Amino acid sequence: MDKPEKFYITTPIYYVNARPHIGHAYTTVVCDTVARRQRMMGMDTWFLTGTDEHGQKIERSAIAAGCSPQEFADRVSGEFRQLWDRMKLSYDDFIRTTEPRHVRGMQALFKRLQERGYIYKGSYSGQYCVFDELYVDVKEPGAPCPECGRPTETVQEENYFFKLSAMQEPLLNLYSEQPEFIRPEARRNEVIAFVRCGLRDLSVSRTTFKWGIPVPGDENHVIYVWLDALANYLTAVGYGSDDPKDQAMLERYWPADVHMIGKEIVRFHCVYWPAFLLAAGIPLPQSIVAHGWLLFEESKMSKSRGNIVRSETILDTLGADTLRYFLLREIVFGGDGSFSFDALVQRFNADLANGLGNLSSRTLSMITRYFEGEIPYPSPGARTAGDDTVAELAQQTIVDFNAQFEQFQFSRALETAWGLVAAVNKYIVENEPWAVADKEDQDSRARLATILHTAAEALRIITALVHPVIPESTARIWEQLGLGDISKLDLRNLAWGQLPLHTRLGTVEAVFPRADKSTVERMQQMELDRASQVGQNAVAKAAGESEAAKAPPEPAAPVAAMPFAGAPAGDTITIDDFAKVELRVGQVKVAEKVKGADKLLRLEVDIGTEVRQIVAGIAKAYDPEQLVGRKVVIVANLAPRKLRGLESQGMIVAASLGDEGVPVLAGFLEDVPNGARLK
Ligand code: ME8
């Protein structure tokens, strides 16, 4: 027998600096649905997800959390995995970029790029956005990142460079020869326009921090986090391993068929990734499919905006299938879509409880009542045109649903399937099987059998089609239909007329009990409770429970940082008291270490009307060169004091985290002029 065709699909690997929210769940659920369907179509499917654990952003988050980057990554990566398991996502592998198999494979890829002459040593001087882990094309130190608006940091270091400039033509050829490489079309056009503007060589190593994979043979450098991250798609299927099993795996599954991503990381996947692969002489993935954003309260759901919704809240109330159905039905794939608890409950009640749930429970309970739980025989003599219409619509639904699904038009495919749900519910109402059952003659009995057989057959087809989307509830309906284990179903053969006669139904029970009005409030309350729980944990952590943390702190250098747990409860100040503190925006012009003091930095800060010298205890958390150009907040009317012989004319404001009081500077997302007062 021929080997089945293979299908390899990936999600992005998620950064461990944020806990999973339903934005991450969206991509993972989409991939899970596609993977499930491919399996049901007989494909040898491999579904990969995982976590992206290196880089400056993670290193800083770990410092802020008061633990080592590895401990931090272990914790958050574990949360992603636990959530995916709770949601019963059918991933085949979960890669972490801190795993030895990835480190080995990444270093092998780096060496290969070097050997093929695509990597050289040079020096980089420019702006870097730590949030996006992106080199940005802005000139001014501290200028906002064009992608996210956060202040950029000046990077000046000796780096390894990748010859991205040599890849412009090969990439443009790729986009034109393989039009399906980037989907949808709008993203493809953006990428082509970007590459046409010219590509500059890309710095692919860093020396100013340690949390990354060392460059083979030059351990002062760590590999650029995006090269490291993208390589996961290869290393997870065995790249760089000598083990014959891994090599067979690579041979079997590479190249990937679909890299599913959010639209904000298109450039990395559609420009950098194929450029690395072309340079390394490794076959390219079939396609990169970018979806839009899940919005909450009109803006992208993200940790930094503080507008996230957790999957757990929905799992605890309406269950995983409701979340999955909502995400695929409500968001038109490719575009942005809004999440709201109201819309979720409405969809649940309208489509699942009243739609599919109602069809299933009324059909199956009538078969139980009138035919002792056995699928009845449809008499040809008792057929009407209405029955044929349902059969034809069901056949057409299979064709349309399949075509739409193949094109990633999940919302339309579900609309199609629910068109059949509505038609069959209407058919039942119009044919009034309960009234037919009241008549005792032979013809009425035959008619009743035909109506219920038609409804049950349509229910079987809908259940099979939407199984990849709502796996748990369809598995239950399938069992209630008496058809056993739905995972054994081969979707390729699905057609009208295959419902085995005289099948005995399983135990019939409601699959989607209606949600009442209080569900929305309950979910909102759960979100609030979760947020305050996270806050309390952070407070407990920042306050520190160990004895060491209770010891009096070292005499403070002027960092206006107070662990937020330290504010004495109940003690309040008046607005006039607050007004006495003159907080102003400043921009760091000069930053340097203070000799003989490993915690102190000497800063010159422009506050609009003058430049102040400030000595700040932030040297353990910030390198001087990161600070030049950065906007900060200072207490401008603090009496000057001397530290290590230097006068400090003010104090810099920072949060203080963890047992060690690690400072994190206050800043702004918007551009603010120097000297602006905070009140
Ligand atoms: O970018 N709406 O990781 P990340 C829709 N580590 N999708 C969302 C979303 C939202 N509001 N929020 C997150 C990274 N996502 C890199 C990827 S891959 C080699 C490295 C989903 O944790 C979406 O898939 O920031 C997006 O692209 C991804 O999570 C970003 O996850």
Residue 376 three-state SS = coil
293 Cα: distance to centroid of ligand 1 (angstroms): 9
Local confidence band at 1 (pLDDT 50, 70, 90 cut-offs): low
The predicted-structure confidence for 222-248, as pLDDT tens digits, reads as follows: 999 999 999 999 999 999 999 999 999
262 Cα: distance to centroid of ligand 1 (angstroms): 6
The predicted-structure confidence for 334-366, as pLDDT tens digits, reads as follows: 999 999 999 999 999 999 999 999 999 999 999
Q: What tokens does 31 get?
A: 């991939």
Residue 304 pLDDT: 65
- Ligand 1 contact, 583 CB (< 6 A): no
The Cα angle at residue 24 between residues 21 and 28, in degrees rounded to 5: 130
Instruction: Tell me the C-alpha distance between 541 and 536, whole Å.
Output: 8
- Ligand 1 contact, 326 CB (< 6 A): no
Q: How far is CA 134 from the centre of its chain?
A: 19
Res 126 pLDDT > 90: no
Residue 140 pLDDT: 86
Mutation to probe ligand 1, out of 17, 26, 80, 307 (largest number of atoms < 8 A from CB): 26
Q: What tokens does 169 get?
A: 């033509």
59 Cα: distance to centroid of ligand 1 (angstroms): 19
The predicted-structure confidence for 457-504, as pLDDT tens digits, reads as follows: 999 999 999 999 999 999 999 999 999 999 999 999 999 999 988 899
Res 561 pLDDT > 70: no
Residue 410 pLDDT: 98
Residue with tokens 């299908």: 7
Residue with tokens 């806050």: 535
Q: What tokens does 357 get?
A: 């749930």
Residue 305 pLDDT: 67
Ligand 1 atom at minimal distance to the Cα of residue 273: 19
Instruction: Tell me the C-alpha distance between 581 and 579, whole Å.
Output: 5
- Ligand 1 contact, 333 CB (< 6 A): no
Res 553 pLDDT > 60: no
- Ligand 1 contact, 52 CB (< 6 A): yes
**Arithmetic mean of pLDDT, 393-419:** 98
- Among positive and negative, which fits the CA dihedral 148, 153, 156, 158? negative
**Arithmetic mean of pLDDT, 21-48:** 97
Question: What are the phi and psi torsion angles at 388 (to 5°)?
Answer: -65, -35
Local confidence band at 573 (pLDDT 50, 70, 90 cut-offs): confident
Would you say 490 and 42 are in contact if contact means Cβ atoms under 8 Å apart?
yes
Local confidence band at 571 (pLDDT 50, 70, 90 cut-offs): low
- Among positive and negative, which fits the CA dihedral 360, 38, 414, 335? positive
Q: Whose CA is nearest to atom 24 of ligand 1?
A: 262
- Range of 30-39, 64-73, 641-650, 666-675 with top mean pLDDT: 30-39
Would you say 91 and 27 are in contact if contact means Cβ atoms under 8 Å apart?
no
- Ligand 1 contact, 48 CB (< 6 A): no
Q: Which helix (H) or strand (E) holds 196?
A: helix 185-196
Res 451 pLDDT > 90: yes
Ligand 1 atom at minimal distance to the Cα of residue 11: 24
Mutation to probe ligand 1, out of 54, 265, 297, 339 (largest number of atoms < 8 A from CB): 265
- Ligand 1 contact, 461 CB (< 6 A): no
Instruction: Tell me the C-alpha distance between 489 and 469, whole Å.
Output: 15
Cα–Cα nearest to 602, from 567, 540, 557 = 557
Instruction: Tell me the C-alpha distance between 321 and 33, whole Å.
Output: 11
Percent of the chain past pLDDT 70, that is, above it, reads 93
- Ligand 1 contact, 601 CB (< 6 A): no
Mutation to probe ligand 1, out of 27, 53, 80, 147 (largest number of atoms < 8 A from CB): 27
Residue 537 pLDDT: 53
**Arithmetic mean of pLDDT, 301-315:** 82
The predicted-structure confidence for 626-651, as pLDDT tens digits, reads as follows: 888 899 999 998 888 888 888 888 99
Instruction: Tell me the C-alpha distance between 70 and 428, whole Å.
Output: 59
Q: Whose CA is nearest to atom 3 of ligand 1?
A: 14
Residue 447 pLDDT: 97
Q: Whose CA is nearest to atom 8 of ligand 1?
A: 23
Q: What tokens does 513 get?
A: 């009990």
Local confidence band at 554 (pLDDT 50, 70, 90 cut-offs): very low
Q: How many CB atoms lie within 10 A of CB 429?
A: 10
- Ligand 1 contact, 256 CB (< 6 A): no
Ligand 1 atom at minimal distance to the Cα of residue 27: 24
- Ligand 1 contact, 55 CB (< 6 A): no
- Ligand 1 contact, 272 CB (< 6 A): no
Cα atoms in the 13 Å half-sphere on the side-chain side of 481 = 29
Residue 343 pLDDT: 94
Local confidence band at 560 (pLDDT 50, 70, 90 cut-offs): very low
Residue 126 three-state SS = strand
Residue 241 pLDDT: 98
Q: What tokens does 636 get?
A: 């401008």
78-92, 537-551, 628-642: segment of lowest average pLDDT = 537-551
**Arithmetic mean of pLDDT, 243-260:** 98
Instruction: Tell me the C-alpha distance between 114 and 108, whole Å.
Output: 10
Ligand 1 atom at minimal distance to the Cα of residue 294: 2
Residue with tokens 């699905």: 494
Q: Whose CA is nearest to atom 4 of ligand 1?
A: 14
The Cα angle at residue 316 between residues 310 and 319, in degrees rounded to 5: 95
Would you say 631 and 587 are in contact if contact means Cβ atoms under 8 Å apart?
yes
Instruction: Tell me the C-alpha distance between 324 and 87, whole Å.
Output: 10
Q: Whose CA is nearest to atom 28 of ligand 1?
A: 262
3-7, 53-57, 574-578: segment of lowest average pLDDT = 574-578
Farthest-apart Cα atoms in the chain, separation = 108
- Ligand 1 contact, 26 CB (< 6 A): yes
Q: What separation in angstroms does the CA of 314 have from each of 25, 236, 327, 525, 526?
A: 12, 31, 12, 12, 9
Residue 552 pLDDT: 29
351 Cα: distance to centroid of ligand 1 (angstroms): 29
Instruction: Tell me the C-alpha distance between 436 and 534, whole Å.
Output: 59
Residue 318 three-state SS = coil
* CA quadruple 75, 76, 77, 83: dihedral, nearest 10: 110
The predicted-structure confidence for 378-400, as pLDDT tens digits, reads as follows: 888 889 999 999 999 999 999 99
Q: Whose CA is nearest to atom 31 of ligand 1?
A: 14
Residue with tokens 């003690």: 571
Q: How many CB atoms lie within 10 A of CB 247?
A: 13
The whole-model pTM stands at: 0.80
Higher pLDDT, 301 or 274: 274
Res 545 pLDDT > 50: no
Q: Whose CA is nearest to atom 7 of ligand 1?
A: 23
586 Cα: distance to centroid of ligand 1 (angstroms): 33
Query: Which value, in Å, is the radius of gyration of the alpha carbons in the chain?
Result: 30
Helix axes 69-86, 56-65, angle to 10 degrees: 100
- Ligand 1 contact, 77 CB (< 6 A): no
- Ligand 1 contact, 318 CB (< 6 A): no
Ligand 1 atom at minimal distance to the Cα of residue 292: 5
Res 506 pLDDT > 80: yes
118 Cα: distance to centroid of ligand 1 (angstroms): 29
Q: Whose CA is nearest to atom 23 of ligand 1?
A: 262
Local confidence band at 533 (pLDDT 50, 70, 90 cut-offs): low
Q: What is the 3-state secondary structure (H, E, C) of 7-53?
A: EEEECCCEECCCCCCHHHHHHHHHHHHHHHHHHHCCCEEEEEEEEEC
14 Cα: distance to centroid of ligand 1 (angstroms): 6
27 Cα: distance to centroid of ligand 1 (angstroms): 8
Cα–Cα nearest to 11, from 232, 322, 267 = 232
Mean pLDDT for the chain overall: 90
Q: Which helix (H) or strand (E) holds 398?
A: helix 385-406
- Ligand 1 contact, 401 CB (< 6 A): no
- Ligand 1 contact, 273 CB (< 6 A): no
